[in-house]
């Protein structure tokens, strides 16, 4: 007998344990990608329970179903258009009133809802107990208390899903009603929507459309406008919204939101039992310290320094060990292949395919995996939003808010996870702006060149000057991009979740899910790039490129013409640039020390600014699409060459 199939969507605010529940339900069987046509991450996974094959979709963590962010539009369109069999609304038991605001909007969308009352253990620590039975009566939907981090209540929740699907448990959802002034206009507009837009009402409930139009929801208004009689409905909605604003003296979205919050407050008071007065615990003390206007910054510096030690220094150490291991392995493979394959095929396989795989592994293991572990640790503990809060004022100087500090900081370890980290920004504009400046941050690979060439042969002061110049450049280009890119800047609106003890299982699950994404997407492109570059070298076309580029490399940058080779091969891995520089100079009877101080600085400056590596390009293409990724690459290359030539001339004048 074939298993019956179900689709379940997890929906709820951020920081309510939704991802932990998703991990508990799906284990390692997760598919992480993007929503079609969006850069919003989509996570789904299969589950087998009581003869049902269930597909679980983890919707983005959001606070409403308005059109304020891409995540909100993606979530509500999935619920309304795709119509999953059941919506599990994950609610934080310790912050019920705030969470109910989102629940009401799900009920207005007439979705089949089951409420997962999560974190009841944390609520109990705060002296709060929620009467689940009373809450179920008030909302007309089933309530299942859970503790996601331990897996408690998961079976009961799935059993409730099956009971609802089979008809054993009937849903009698609360009909959200507003004050008489709002309700009168909602009913008027609902009738108009039903009669004039019957096709739209087949997808969205007429009452929900009416409420959204009164809230001046831009996305819903855009959908209505596409219909023949849409303008008539929009004109009427605008008139009714204006009437509401005249009566209440507030914008109509604020008026409706206030009524929802009033209802949430009323229900929350009825079902909440305060069993003990809240005490100031360790979590509250930590919160006060880490967000303090003076103490918060030294703590932030210590956290950042620890990350650098683990990712930057530790990553270099592990990377060096892996490269030594794989270097010997590649030599062995080369010897084996040489016994039965022609030299060209051996070079293409060994230096193209296998070297590309090795490059991917030596990025993923030393830098990306530790980064994801630390990121998950900071996410689960609750420290990440506090760091963003502290850095908000500084980041606003380059047109971004505090959360952009996180990927920028991580860029010093590796630009690949830093680009992926830009997903935490709210809008596509903010994500691209953050990604644009992130690739200018010198990663660990570029640090190898800066310290191995300038720091070693000129002095640490010159290397630090390059870092200082880079920060100034990031600030200037960030300001320019902020002014040039269309769209309005977004302020920092972040929830400060309470500190919690991180779950090791959840941290490892998040790390694997994110690392797997890199392996499947970026690694094949790295290998392809390696094969392409090696093929160019074997065909002799690379020599032709160097000859053509000689006026640029030698004439403009003031570098030996052969340095074009490490600059081109540096696209595969930036560490290769320094190794290849030594090799090509050796072929000319020179060593690194034979370069002048100006040439060392120019070479390091160019490699510091132009596109980090093929893995970063691949990641940018995945996050921002190929057109924007190529735009970033072209701008960075042009900027690197321009500043390199300018530096060569200015330094020649002063020395």
Confidence of residue 428 (pLDDT cuts 50, 70, 90): confident
- Domain-ending residue, one of 192, 226, 248: 248
Q: Which domain holds residue 199?
A: 180-248
Q: How far apart are CA 214 and CA 220, in angstroms?
A: 10
Q: Which two tokens stand for residue 580?
A: 């290849």
Q: How far apart are CA 62 and CA 102, in angstroms?
A: 8
Residue 255 counted as domain residue: no
Q: Are residues 304 and 400 in the same domain?
A: yes
Q: How far apart are CA 2 and CA 380, in angstroms?
A: 39
**By C-alpha distance, which of 126, 257, 291 is closest to 182?**
257
Residue 365 counted as domain residue: yes
Instruction: Tell me what pLDDT residue 66 has.
Output: 76
585-612 pLDDT, tens digit per residue, is: 765 667 778 889 999 999 999 999 987 7
Mean per-residue pLDDT, 338-364:
74
Percentage of the residues of the chain whose pLDDT score is greater than 90: 28
The helix/strand/coil state of 572 is: coil
Confidence of residue 332 (pLDDT cuts 50, 70, 90): confident
Q: Are residues 191 and 87 in the same domain?
A: no
Q: Are residues 49 and 97 in the same domain?
A: yes
Q: For residues 547, 551, 556 and 562, what is the CA-based torsion angle, rounded to 10 degrees?
A: 20
Task: Yes or no: say if 424 and 555 are a contact pair by the CB < 8 Å rule.
Answer: no
Mean per-residue pLDDT, 6-15:
89
Instruction: Tell me what pLDDT residue 558 has.
Output: 92
Most confident of 257-266, 295-304, 400-409, 433-442: 257-266
- pLDDT score of 37 more than 60: no
Q: How far apart are CA 211 and CA 188, in angstroms?
A: 11
170-215 pLDDT, tens digit per residue, is: 889 999 999 899 999 999 999 999 999 999 998 899 999 999 999 9
Residue 264 counted as domain residue: no
Instruction: Tell me what pLDDT residue 518 has.
Output: 64
442-493 pLDDT, tens digit per residue, is: 876 787 788 778 887 888 788 888 988 998 898 888 888 877 776 655 555 5
616-652 pLDDT, tens digit per residue, is: 888 888 788 888 888 888 999 999 999 999 999 999 9
Instruction: Tell me what pLDDT residue 556 has.
Output: 92
- pLDDT score of 521 more than 80: no
Instruction: Tell me what pLDDT residue 490 has.
Output: 58
145 Cα distance to chain centroid: 30
Q: How far apart are CA 542 and CA 372, in angstroms?
A: 37
Q: How far apart are CA 410 and CA 414, in angstroms?
A: 7
Q: How far apart are CA 561 and CA 547, in angstroms?
A: 8
The helix/strand/coil state of 340 is: coil
Q: Are residues 322 and 409 in the same domain?
A: yes
Q: How far apart are CA 529 and CA 351, in angstroms?
A: 11
Contacts of residue 527, defined as CB under 8 A and 6 or more positions apart, other chains included, come to 352, 353, 356, 357, 360
The helix/strand/coil state of 373 is: helix
Contacts of residue 347, defined as CB under 8 A and 6 or more positions apart, other chains included, come to 534, 538
Question: Phi and psi (nearest 5°) for 234?
Answer: -65, -40
The helix/strand/coil state of 622 is: helix
Mean per-residue pLDDT, 351-371:
70
Task: Yes or no: say if 510 and 372 are a contact pair by the CB < 8 Å rule.
Answer: yes
User: Which residues lie across from 45 on neighbouring strands?
Assistant: 56
**By C-alpha distance, which of 81, 110, 73 is closest to 220?**
73
Q: Are residues 237 and 152 in the same domain?
A: no
Q: How many CB atoms lie within 10 A of CB 628?
A: 17
289-325 pLDDT, tens digit per residue, is: 888 888 888 998 888 777 766 766 676 677 778 878 8
Instruction: Tell me what pLDDT residue 29 has.
Output: 57
Q: What is the largest CA-CA distance in the chain?
A: 89
Question: Phi and psi (nearest 5°) for 61?
Answer: -70, 120
Q: Which two tokens stand for residue 256?
A: 């409706």
Q: How many structural domains comprise the chain?
A: 4
Instruction: Tell me what pLDDT residue 81 has.
Output: 84
Residue 281 counted as domain residue: no
Q: How far apart are CA 22 and CA 18, in angstroms?
A: 6
- Selected residue with higher pLDDT from 583 and 548: 548
Q: Are residues 386 and 460 in the same domain?
A: yes
Q: Where would I find the H helices in 491-563?
A: 504-539, 541-550
Confidence of residue 156 (pLDDT cuts 50, 70, 90): very high
Instruction: Tell me what pLDDT residue 1 has.
Output: 41
Percentage of the residues of the chain whose pLDDT score is greater than 70: 86
Q: How far apart are CA 167 and CA 138, in angstroms?
A: 20
Q: Are residues 154 and 186 in the same domain?
A: no
Q: Are residues 230 and 98 in the same domain?
A: no
- pLDDT score of 36 more than 50: no
Residue 514 counted as domain residue: no
Residue 172 counted as domain residue: no
Q: Given CA atoms 178, 182, 188, 190 in this order, what sign does their dihedral have?
A: negative
Instruction: Tell me what pLDDT residue 365 has.
Output: 66
Instruction: Tell me what pLDDT residue 495 has.
Output: 61
Strands 4-12 and 52-58: parallel
Instruction: Tell me what pLDDT residue 359 has.
Output: 66
79-131 pLDDT, tens digit per residue, is: 888 889 999 999 999 889 999 999 999 999 988 999 999 989 888 888 889 99
Q: Are residues 302 and 444 in the same domain?
A: yes
- pLDDT score of 508 more than 80: yes
- Selected residue with higher pLDDT from 332 and 242: 242
Residue 253 counted as domain residue: no
518 Cα distance to chain centroid: 13
- Selected residue with higher pLDDT from 251 and 427: 251
- Domain-ending residue, one of 106, 133, 166: 166
Q: Are residues 349 and 458 in the same domain?
A: yes
Q: How far apart are CA 20 and CA 151, in angstroms?
A: 9
Task: Yes or no: say if 539 and 419 are a contact pair by the CB < 8 Å rule.
Answer: no
Q: How many CB atoms lie within 10 A of CB 47?
A: 17
Q: How far apart are CA 435 and CA 629, in angstroms?
A: 9
- Selected residue with higher pLDDT from 185 and 67: 185
Q: Are residues 123 and 234 in the same domain?
A: no
The helix/strand/coil state of 418 is: helix
The Cα-based distances of 33 to 14, 334, 405 in angstroms read 19, 37, 24
Instruction: Tell me what pLDDT residue 228 has.
Output: 87
- Domain-ending residue, one of 462, 488, 514: 488
Q: Are residues 236 and 306 in the same domain?
A: no
- pLDDT score of 577 more than 80: no
| Mean pLDDT of all residues belonging to the chain | 82
Q: How far apart are CA 550 and CA 567, in angstroms?
A: 12
- pLDDT score of 132 more than 50: yes
What angle, 0 to 180 degrees and rounded to 10, lies between the N-to-C axes of helices 355-363 and 504-539?
Answer: 150
Q: How many CB atoms lie within 10 A of CB 276?
A: 11
Mean per-residue pLDDT, 386-391:
80
Instruction: Give the least confident one: 87-96, 414-423, 553-562.
Output: 414-423
Residue 276 counted as domain residue: no
- Selected residue with higher pLDDT from 497 and 354: 354
Q: How many CB atoms lie within 10 A of CB 438?
A: 27
Instruction: Tell me what pLDDT residue 91 has.
Output: 95
């Amino acid at each position: 007998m074939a298993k019956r199939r179900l689709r379940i969507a997890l929906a709820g605010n951020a920081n309510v344990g939704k991802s932990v529940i998703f991990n508990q339900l799906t284990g390692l069987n997760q598919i992480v990608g993007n929503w079609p046509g969006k850069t919003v991450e989509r996570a789904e996974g299969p589950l087998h329970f009581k003869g049902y094959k269930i597909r679980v979709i983890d919707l983005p963590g959001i606070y409403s179903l308005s059109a304020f962010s891409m995540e909100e539009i993606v979530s509500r369109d999935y619920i309304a258009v795709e119509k999953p069999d059941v919506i599990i609304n994950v609610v934080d038991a310790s912050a019920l009133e705030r969470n109910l605001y989102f629940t009401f909007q799900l009920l207005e969308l007439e979705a089949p809802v089951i409420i997962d009352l999560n974190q009841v253990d944390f609520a109990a620590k705060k002296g709060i107990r929620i009467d689940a039975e009373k809450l179920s009566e008030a909302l007309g939907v089933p309530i299942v208390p859970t503790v996601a981090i331990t897996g408690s209540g998961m079976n009961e929740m799935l059993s409730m899903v099956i009971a609802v699907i089979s008809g054993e448990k009937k849903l009698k959802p609360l009909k959200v009603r507003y004050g008489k002034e709002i309700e009168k206009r909602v009913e008027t507009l609902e009738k108009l929507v039903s009669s004039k837009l019957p096709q739209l009402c087949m997808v969205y409930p007429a009452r929900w459309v009416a409420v959204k139009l009164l809230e001046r929801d831009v996305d819903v208004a855009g959908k209505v406008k596409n219909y023949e009689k849409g303008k008539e409905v929009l004109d009427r909605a605008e008139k009714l919204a204006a009437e509401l604003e005249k009566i209440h003296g507030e914008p109509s979205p604020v008026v409706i939101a206030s009524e929802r919050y009033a209802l949430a407050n009323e229900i929350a008071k009825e079902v909440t039992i305060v069993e003990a007065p809240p005490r100031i615990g360790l979590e509250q003390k930590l919160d006060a310290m880490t967000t303090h206007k003076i103490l918060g910054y030294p703590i932030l510096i210590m956290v950042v320094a620890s990350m650098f030690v683990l990712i930057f220094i530790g990553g270099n150490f592990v990377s060096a060990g892996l490269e030594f291991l794989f270097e010997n392995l590649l030599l062995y493979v080369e010897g084996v292949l040489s016994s039965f394959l022609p030299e060209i095929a051996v070079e293409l396989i060994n230096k193209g395919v296998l070297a590309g795989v090795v490059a991917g592994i030596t990025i993923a293991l030393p830098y990306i995996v530790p980064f994801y572990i630390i990121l998950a640790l900071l996410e689960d503990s609750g420290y990440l939003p506090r760091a963003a809060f502290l850095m908000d004022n500084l980041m606003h100087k380059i047109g971004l808010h505090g959360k952009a500090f996180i990927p920028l900081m991580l860029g010093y370890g590796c630009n690949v996870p830093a680009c992926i980290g830009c997903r935490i920004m709210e809008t596509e504009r903010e994500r691209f702006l953050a990604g644009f400046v992130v690739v200018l941050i010198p990663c660990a690979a570029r640090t190898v060149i800066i310290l191995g060439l300038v720091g070693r042969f000129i002095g640490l002061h010159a290397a630090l000057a390059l870092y200082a110049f880079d920060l100034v450049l990031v600030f200037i280009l960030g300001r320019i991009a902020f002014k040039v890119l269309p769209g309005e800047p977004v302020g920092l609106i972040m929830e400060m979740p309470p500190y919690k003890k991180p779950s090791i299982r959840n941290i490892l699950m998040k790390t694997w899910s994110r690392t797997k994404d890199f392996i499947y997407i970026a690694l094949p492109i790295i290998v392809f790039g390696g094969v392409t570059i090696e093929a160019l070298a074997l065909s002799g076309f690379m020599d032709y490129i160097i000859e053509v580029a000689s006026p640029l490399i030698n004439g403009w940058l003031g570098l030996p013409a052969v340095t074009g080779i490490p600059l081109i091969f540096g696209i595969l891995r930036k560490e290769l640039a320094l190794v290849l520089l030594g090799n090509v100079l050796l072929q000319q009877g020179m060593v690194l020390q034979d370069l002048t101080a100006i040439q060392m600085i120019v070479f390091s400056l160019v490699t510091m600014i132009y596109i980090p590596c093929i893995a970063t390009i691949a990641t940018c293409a995945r996050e921002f699409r190929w057109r924007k990724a190529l735009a970033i690459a072209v701008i960075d290359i042009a900027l690197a060459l321009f500043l390199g030539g300018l530096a060569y001339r200015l330094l020649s004048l002063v020395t």
